[in-house]
Structure 1
Amino acid sequence: MNASVTEFPFNESLRTTIKGHLDRFEVRRKSDPGSLRHAAVAIAVIEGDVPGQAAFLLTKRTPRLRAHGGQWALPGGRVDPGETIRHTALRELHEELGVLASIDDVLGTLDDYPTRSGYLIAPVVVWLGGAIELKPSPSEVAAAYRIRCAELFRSDSPEIVPIPESDRPIIRLPLPVATVNAPTAAVLYQFKEVALAGRDTRVDHFEQPVFAWR
């Protein structure tokens, strides 16, 4: 695999590249969400544990949560009345991980992704420059990780798996901390394809595992 594709130095050049890819991408928003509730997640690009390497933030939800406890997730939640998806993503990033970012740090957005549990997720890509200290909220987050963007380009990723409960396959991403399922896997796969690789790729046809339907 070409090293220029899989290595992502955390610098202004990468920021410009990601923003350019997102600016050119024609985002699909569902005009009629039906019974789905609007939500937003932050794909936060940050310097990884390896200095100089770009990473994204991934959380493990505390098992005490009523919905999706213990699952792997991106910082995010329901859109409050009067909020834009960008403001929701930034608010959730602060509430869950103690990270303050501004609208100027938002590089762009990706497609709406409908979930079996009743949400319409809008992914928002945020650039976190400088030294960032993570302060996970114990009421929501069991742990937070910086996952190198290069991990999204592994030769064994993604895993596309049929399930008997649906006519659509599920998508999974093997990562160092765990194998992550949709919806998080679908959102991260589109981030990889669109924001990092510059390829127009859709993911709303991918299914979620049955445990995520509730």
Structure 2
Amino acid sequence: MMRPFDDATRRNIAAACAAFTRLPEDEAPAALKRAAVVIALTAASERDDTAFLLTLRASHLRAHRGQWALPGGRCDAGETPVQAALRELDEELGLRLTGAEVLGTLDDYPTRSGYLITPVVVWAADSAAIKPNPDEVASVHRIALATVERADAFDFVAIPESTRRVIRFHHQSSLIHAPTAALIYQFREVLAGRHTRVTELEQPVFAWK
């Protein structure tokens, strides 16, 4: 479905996020380290459509090098997930937003590597300001919302190492896995008015460390 990047789309997405009820935070293991990622909504480059920003992590990073990811990272001491998300968006892509651009938050996702990730949805109108930080980001891509709303955008596969299904997002010739795929999938479901939970969707074994 075409979603023009305009005030009406912003209001509709904000309303969908407001209608979404997050899982209680006390259901997550207390030992997990807090982190946040950003689902940053902006204009698609090739047409007047709404897209979100996806990055390819730099190849020299110590962790998860060369992988697809939403902008984000670990929360600093005393920082809320929203504050961390906005800081990381600035550090990685040069986008300086305020709380006024935050449309909502989705469920926290616990990772196998010991993090509890909060997805923060923001409206990033000034896409011309995007300047990827080469220390962290190899490239940044605009993924039209219509892309993730396709019936074949995601699949779920079984693995022998877990009773949980691994979620995969098909992007061009790449397979993007959880946590990124799970968070994008839940956002897709929120847009459709469905309160689909994703905490039980599995990561591939290579991402467990």
- Specify the alignment match of 2:110 in structure 1: 114
Query: 2:41 — aligned with what?
Result: 45
Q: CA deviation at 1:7?
A: 1.3
Q: Equivalent residue for 1:11?
A: 6
Backbone CA RMSD of aligned residues: 1.2
Aligned residue pairs: how many?
A: 208
Give distance in 2, aligned partners of 1:111 and 1:55. 21
Q: Does 1:200 align with 2:195?
A: yes
Structure with the higher fraction of residues in strand conformation: 2
Equivalence for 1:3: none
Structure 2 counterpart SS, 1:171: strand
2:89 counterpart letter in structure 1: L
The aligned residue for residue 189 of structure 1 is 185
Residue 157 of structure 1 is matched in structure 2 by 153
The gaps in structure 1 that reach 5 residues or longer are 1-5
Structure 1 stretches of at least 4 aligned residues deviating more than 4 Å after TM superposition: none
Give the CA deviation at 1:85.
Answer: 0.8
For 2:117, give the aligned amino acid: I
CA distance in 2, matches of 1:169, 1:199: 20
TM-score by length of 1: 0.93
Within 1, Cα distance between the matches of 2:130 and 2:172?
19
**1:178 positional shift:** 2.3
1:181 maps to amino acid: H
For residue 51 of structure 1, report the CA deviation from its aligned partner.
Answer: 3.2
Deviates more, 1:103-112 or 1:172-181: 172-181
Residue in structure 1 matched with residue 60 of structure 2 by the alignment: 64
Q: TM-score, normalised by structure 2?
A: 0.96
CA distance in 2, matches of 1:141, 1:118: 23
Q: Report how far residue 63 of structure 1 moved.
A: 1.8
Matched-pair contact (CA < 8 Å) for 1:99–1:132: no
Deviations 1:154-208 (A, max 9, x none): 22121100011100010011123622111100000001111x2121111011000
Q: Using the TM superposition, give the Cα deviation of residue 13 of structure 1 relative to its aligned residue in structure 2, in angstroms.
A: 0.9
Partner of 2:172 in structure 1? Answer: 176
| 3-state SS, counterpart of residue 132 of structure 1 | helix
- Within 2, Cα distance between the matches of 1:8 and 1:177? 24
Is the partner of 1:60 in helix, strand or coil?
A: strand
Secondary structure of the 2:159 match is coil
Counterpart pick for 2:17 among 18, 22, 25: 22
Please, which runs of 5 or more residues in structure 2 have no aligned partner?
A: none
Structure 1 counterpart of 2:200, which letter?
Answer: H
User: Separation in 2 of the partners of 1:11 and 1:178?
Assistant: 30
Q: How much has 1:131 moved relative to structure 2? A: 4.3
Whole-Å separation in 2 of the counterparts to 1:51 and 1:66: 36
